[in-house]
Structure 1
Amino acid sequence: MISERLKCLSSDYLEMWEFLSTMTNIFKMAKYFGIPTYGGAFSLLGAIVMLAMLLIMEIVSIWKLIRTLNGWNLNPNGSVVARLSGSIFYGNALLSLILSWKIISNWKTLVSFWKRSERLELNIPPDRRIRGRVIFVSSYVAICAAVEHALSMVSGTGHDCPPEEFFERYILSSHGFLLQRSEYSLWVAIPIFTLSKLATVLWNFQDLIIILISLGLTSEYSRLNLFVQRVVVFETKMKYHNRVISLPLRVKIWRNLRQAYVQQAELVRKVDQELGGLILLSNLNNLFFICLQLFLGISVTKGSDINRIYYYFSLAWLLYRASGVVLAASDINIHSKRALPHLYSCVSGAYNIEIKRLKTQLENDDIALSGLGFFYLYRQKLLEVAAAVVKYELILLQFDKH
């Protein structure tokens, strides 16, 4: 009987950490697009080269933007909007590489802290579906991002583009803010093409990191909340059948639960310290490109069918991904309070000082991820951003009439 119990605990112990091992495997794949933490010397060299190339690309993009703002550039493709969006795109890639590299490098430390927050003496049931959710979300983001980028390439060249002209037409179309036709050469186009693909991967990967880690933290709160519910239901049944559980045992269980919520809150704050910069970058970058896409959509009806298909799919994917970041992160705050209704329904005969302390703790402790403390991700934040975007677009439309 004891051996079966220990076997069950060992199984639950492994299930609890499936999320962490799955995330580690995902981070190991990051060495293929410039984050060398789980790679060797060759990966580190590639990351340094990529970092230098992104820095050069960003400097050149900003210089081109300055030239356009001062009227020094007569390139018809070099509009202020195009140059600004190009600068922000590659600036995001540069910062995303640095911040993602930092997060993945500190992942082992975070995993150790995460494991120490587990309360094995409570025998909290594991979330056996978390690994499947992580794999599904990762696959879904990868597929949608690949389709969106493929459509952008076809939209930039046209579906009737001859194969021998595809590369040149794509580079001049997507990077017209950077290159004129007279400046085009294959030796310049290949690095730009490579960097643009890596920058796109990093853009999607930074949002994926936030979503997946938020799923893991939400899962931890869900497990605790479910355990609280089961304890309350059990004590209610005992009261209904006139059975009594010793007070010291009840107090010990609830004390362990309260300490588990304290450790979980500390874990969220630890993660917030690591993710804060990436959350700020992700939300600012997504907000800018949502506004840009909506602004460009004013004239989308003048384009070809493939341009319209790309525009609507790209806008939908951008909105969906940006909303996914906010909603996944805000779920942490929601689930951190979900045990309160169960505590309120606790029968008076089972009520003790530890339940009161836990209730006070959950009511007053505001748990949420933030963008370096500038803003916190709650559900209502999504509506506030949507309202700001609508106001911005209405102002643009008003100016467009004059």
Structure 2
Amino acid sequence: MPWIPRDARRRGASLHEALRPMLVAAQVFALMPVEGLRQASPASLRYLQRPTEHILARLFNVVHAYECSPGGLSWLQLYLANEFPSAYHYIGFSYWTSAWLATINTAATFSWNYMDLFLILISLALADRFEHFNQDIARVFDRAVPQKIWQRIRENYCSLAHLAHATNARINKIVLLSFTTNLYFICYQLLNMVIPVMLPSIYSPYCYPESSSFHFSLNPSMLEMVYRCWSFAYLVARTCAVSLSAARVYEKSHEPKRLLFLVHPKSYGVEVQRLLDQINSDEIALTGFNFFSITRTFMLTVAGTIVTYEIVLVQFNNVSNAQESNMANKTFCSFEYY
């Protein structure tokens, strides 16, 4: 794998050594607070109990809030009210509450990103194990070798299959959470990009005061459109990265079949046939809580689901144009001082 240091690849790096650069990078974002990453054995890892901080700038919301602000620190209240409108509806506005919500939101955002990174690394590491196994078969499949060699190869495959099933049993809930979350936010961001085009009448290009409320412009600025496009592209790219990495496990685990059909006639025997039968019958793939298996064709299913739901959402918004307009003018556009 290209992200493993060259010297570690030469001596046969362990999974702990292979994941070390990414674990160090995760600590920058207050994730995986452990010590002992530079030790040779993962048994030396210890969790750290110390607070960490990170500031996540939401630039386009700050700019909008500043433009709508009448002056002073009112822009901060407008910004916070736009960030957590549902929460303030139930618990009321305060700066202490805002700080608490912002901390939770930041931690959740980085945990969400790291969850996908974790799945990518685990998938690549597991697929790399199968790749080494395939290389072992490629070295002997066209030669006459004793059955003991093929017995050892079959036993190695059994060990890898057990490792793959055990790994899937540990992370299949994370896989399900990752795909459902990414699917939701892809549809959400795509809808945010489509609605200004489909329903331009509900967007007002101005911020203006009305009694005790300040109305927030819904007309997307260039900064906001850049953010929406970048966020959508980033979500799609990250979902594709997770899908392709996880699908690589399925592909590499089934790759030996092609070579086993080409085994040297003098080597073909019971062990080769048992190995071939096991590969054909054993479904090795990462799953989303066993609801679905991640393969390349699964990506097409996800893409079709996104398109279907987006069409439904756009049609729903077209039908309820008047209701959306009223809601935008009364609720979504306005920020009240609590």
TM-score, normalised relative to structure 1: 0.61
Query: What does 1:268-347 correspond to in 2, within 5 Å?
Result: 268-300=164-196, 302-347=219-264
Which residue of the partner structure matches residue 38 of structure 2? none
Which residue of the partner structure matches residue 135 of structure 2? 226
| Kept in 2: contact 1:300–1:311 (CA 8 A) | no
Which residue of the partner structure matches residue 301 of structure 2? 384
Which residue of the partner structure matches residue 188 of structure 1? 97
Greater share of residues in helix: 1
Deviation at 1:40, TM superposition (A): 4.9
Say whether residues 1:155 and 2:57 are aligned partners. no
Q: 1:232 to 1:156 in 2, by over 3 A?
A: same
CA displacement, residues 322-368 of structure 1 (integer Å, 9 cap, x when unaligned): 12212211110111111111111122133222112211111111101
| Kept in 2: contact 1:300–1:308 (CA 8 A) | no
Moved more, 30-39 or 290-299: 30-39
One-letter code aligned to 2:30: F
Q: 1:255 to 1:25 in 2, by over 3 A?
A: same
Which residue of the partner structure matches residue 20 of structure 1? 16
Identity in percent: 26
Q: 1:12 to 1:23 in 2, by over 3 A?
A: closer
Number of positions where the alignment pairs a residue of Structure 1 with one of Structure 2: 274
| Kept in 1: contact 2:254–2:279 (CA 8 A) | yes
| Kept in 2: contact 1:300–1:307 (CA 8 A) | no
2:127, 2:47 → 1: CA distance? Answer: 33
One-letter code aligned to 1:282: S
Which residue of the partner structure matches residue 255 of structure 1? 151
One-letter code aligned to 2:180: L
Which residue of the partner structure matches residue 131 of structure 1? none
Q: 1:193 to 1:12 in 2, by over 3 A?
A: closer
1:273, 1:166 → 2: CA distance? Answer: 48
CA displacement, residues 152-204 of structure 1 (integer Å, 9 cap, x when unaligned): x1121227948966654432222222236x94433222222222211110000
RMSD: 3.0
CA displacement, residues 213-266 of structure 1 (integer Å, 9 cap, x when unaligned): 000001001111111111124x1xxxxxxxxx6x6xx21111111111110010
1:381, 1:271 → 2: CA distance? Answer: 20
1:20, 1:165 → 2: CA distance? Answer: 49
Q: 1:232 to 1:34 in 2, by over 3 A?
A: closer
Gaps of 5+ in 2: 1-7, 35-44, 198-218, 320-338
1:158, 1:298 → 2: CA distance? Answer: 22
Deviation at 1:23, TM superposition (A): 2.4
2:173, 2:318 → 1: CA distance? Answer: 39
| Kept in 1: contact 2:120–2:242 (CA 8 A) | yes
Q: 1:33 to 1:358 in 2, by over 3 A?
A: same
One-letter code aligned to 1:217: L
1:32, 1:288 → 2: CA distance? Answer: 24
Gaps of 5+ in 1: 1-10, 51-145, 236-244
CA displacement, residues 122-177 of structure 1 (integer Å, 9 cap, x when unaligned): xxxxxxxxxxxxxxxxxxxxxxxx9xx65xx1121227948966654432222222
1:219, 1:40 → 2: CA distance? Answer: 28
Moved more, 337-346 or 310-319: 337-346
2:255, 2:141 → 1: CA distance? Answer: 14
Deviation at 1:26, TM superposition (A): 4.2
1:389, 1:299 → 2: CA distance? Answer: 16
Moved more, 188-197 or 217-226: 188-197
TM-score, normalised relative to structure 2: 0.72
Say whether residues 1:374 and 2:296 are aligned partners. no
1:39, 1:340 → 2: CA distance? Answer: 42
Which residue of the partner structure matches residue 133 of structure 1? none
SS in 1 for 2:255: coil
